Amino acid sequence: MGATEKLAAYLANYQGIVGKVVNFDPAVDKLFPLDLTAANTELDADMVADTEAFSQYINQKLAESNSRYAIGGYMEHRTMYARSVHFDTEGEPRRLHLGVDIWGDSGTPIYSPLAGTIHSFQDNNNFGDYGPTIILQHNVDGLTFYSLYGHLSRVSLIGLAIGQHIEAGQQIATLGNATENGHWPPHLHFQLMLDIGDAKGDYPGVGKYSEKAKHLQNIPDPALLLNASGLALYSFFMR
Spatial separation of the C-alpha atoms in residues 239 and 233, rounded to whole Å: 14
Tell me the pTM. 0.93
Give the domain range for residue 38.
3-237
78-100 pLDDT tens trace? 876 655 455 555 567 768 999 99
Spatial separation of the C-alpha atoms in residues 110 and 86, rounded to whole Å: 25
State mean pLDDT over 20-38.
Answer: 91
Residues whose CB falls within 8 Å of the CB of residue 115, separated by 6 or more in sequence, listed in order = 16, 17, 138, 165, 166, 167, 168
pLDDT for 86: 53
188-218 pLDDT tens trace? 999 999 999 999 999 999 999 999 999 999 9
Spatial separation of the C-alpha atoms in residues 63 and 163, rounded to whole Å: 40
Spatial separation of the C-alpha atoms in residues 152 and 156, rounded to whole Å: 7
Counting the structural domains of the chain, the total is 1
Q: What is the CATH number of the domain that holds 17?
A: 2.70.70.10
Does position 23 have pLDDT exceeding 90, yes or no? yes
pLDDT for 234: 53
Residues whose CB falls within 8 Å of the CB of residue 33, separated by 6 or more in sequence, listed in order = 70, 71, 72, 236, 237
Burial 75-98 (b: 16+ CB within 10 A, else e): bbebebbebbebbeeeeeebbbbb
Give the pLDDT band (50/70/90) at residue 127: confident
In this structure, which amino acid lies at residue 216?
Answer: L
State mean pLDDT over 231-239.
Answer: 47
Residues whose CB falls within 8 Å of the CB of residue 156, separated by 6 or more in sequence, listed in order = 110, 132, 134, 172, 173, 174, 176
More confident residue, 145 or 228: 145
Spatial separation of the C-alpha atoms in residues 179 and 37, rounded to whole Å: 25
